[in-house]
Amino acid sequence: MRFVMFCHSLVSDWNHGNAHFLRGIVSELQAAGHLVDVYEPEDGWSRTNLLEERGQSAVAAFEARFPSLRSMTYAPGGPELETALAGADVVIVHEWTDPALVAALGAHRARRGHYRLLYHDTHHRAVSDRASWERLPLGGYDAALVFGRALAEVYRARSAVPRVFTWHEAADVRVFHPLPAPALRACDLVWIGNWGDDERAAELDEFLLGPIRTLGLSAEIYGVRYPERAIAALEAAGAVYRGYLPNHEAPAVFAGARLTVHVPRRYYAEALPGIPTIRPFEALACGVPMISAPWQDAEGLFEAGRDFLYARSGAEMTRSIAGLLSDEPRRRALAQHGRATILRRHTCAHRVAELLQLLRDLGAREAA
């Protein structure tokens, strides 16, 4: 089949975690023999920031690491759709696509009707910015793919999309897998995540910085959009702030740490239970022991206590980190079990198989 994908960026993962999953899906579709064309705006916010910070060398590094992945850029206003969609069987539109293009694609589908048009949502906007979400022009779309059952329920109750499918993110195990640990570990704890818009500032202080301060841990923090006050807080806790990390370099960083922690954004811990976001999938795929701040695994994606540990408070996180650092067999058991769960249930290959099945349910040509 021929897939056409519209997204914010395939090339840039600067404050754009969705690129991780999209790269894995495109890679798996290609490996299965499908043709995939990807379109992204030439002036996309993530791509622009990446180029400002790292220059063209960052794009060259992406192309070297992912030689089969390429995207076509378009100017404001979008690409010429008759050309872009000629011969398409499936068109997937990610939620950061400009609403005007979202609408144009829906109108094109309504006129032409020869492909299946899917809207892909991996964000909390439906509950955090309901007015903006409700203005999304999703007329003409065949279905929505959303990254959790809680979000699917919102779509079914409040959107005009006729079909809604739960399609969780997953690990691209072509990239995320264990690497040999260096002879001298770089740190006790590593955390990879962007600051965002203060969506979890209090949680990061309680579940990340508090334990680092209390235990005197060697810790490294990676991510972007950290304001000066946040960087100062990291330094005061004794952590080292490393800044932007290209996603494909994360496995080597995980290999140098004894453990990692997961601190979900507040919307995923409270308003959209059951959505872990992509970071835990990737960490577990790399075989790094993980302790998570509270979130409700409403869909039974993991096995708590065997794939990772839960900490219900900062004090419990501190105790759990101390205990795990002193228990290498326990760390090894968590790492092995967590990775086994990823390989059994949560790879991008699994998600492509799910995608092809739901396309059969939608009657897509060549998917039967």
Question: Hey, which residues does 93 pair with through a beta bridge?
Answer: 6, 119
pLDDT at res. 368 = 52
pLDDT at res. 140 = 93
Closest CA to 187 of 222, 155, 163: 222
Rounded alpha-carbon distances, angstroms, from residue 174 to 197, 250, 286: 31, 13, 11
Question: Residue 8 gets which letter from DSSP?
Answer: S
pLDDT at res. 142 = 97
Mean pLDDT by 10 residues, the chain (368 residues): 98 97 98 98 98 97 98 96 96 97 96 92 94 94 97 96 98 98 94 90 96 98 96 98 98 98 91 93 98 95 97 98 98 98 98 97 80
Rounded alpha-carbon distances, angstroms, from residue 55 to 16, 51, 69: 17, 4, 19
The sheet carrying 309-310 orders its strands as: 240-243, 219-222, 187-192, 257-262, 290-292, 309-310
- As a whole number of angstroms, the distance between CA 100 and CA 119 comes to 14
Closest CA to 21 of 262, 278, 275: 278
Question: Hey, which residues does 90 pair with through a beta bridge?
Answer: 3, 116
pLDDT at res. 267 = 87
pLDDT at res. 199 = 84
Closest CA to 144 of 117, 123, 112: 117
- As a whole number of angstroms, the distance between CA 250 and CA 256 comes to 10
pLDDT at res. 74 = 98
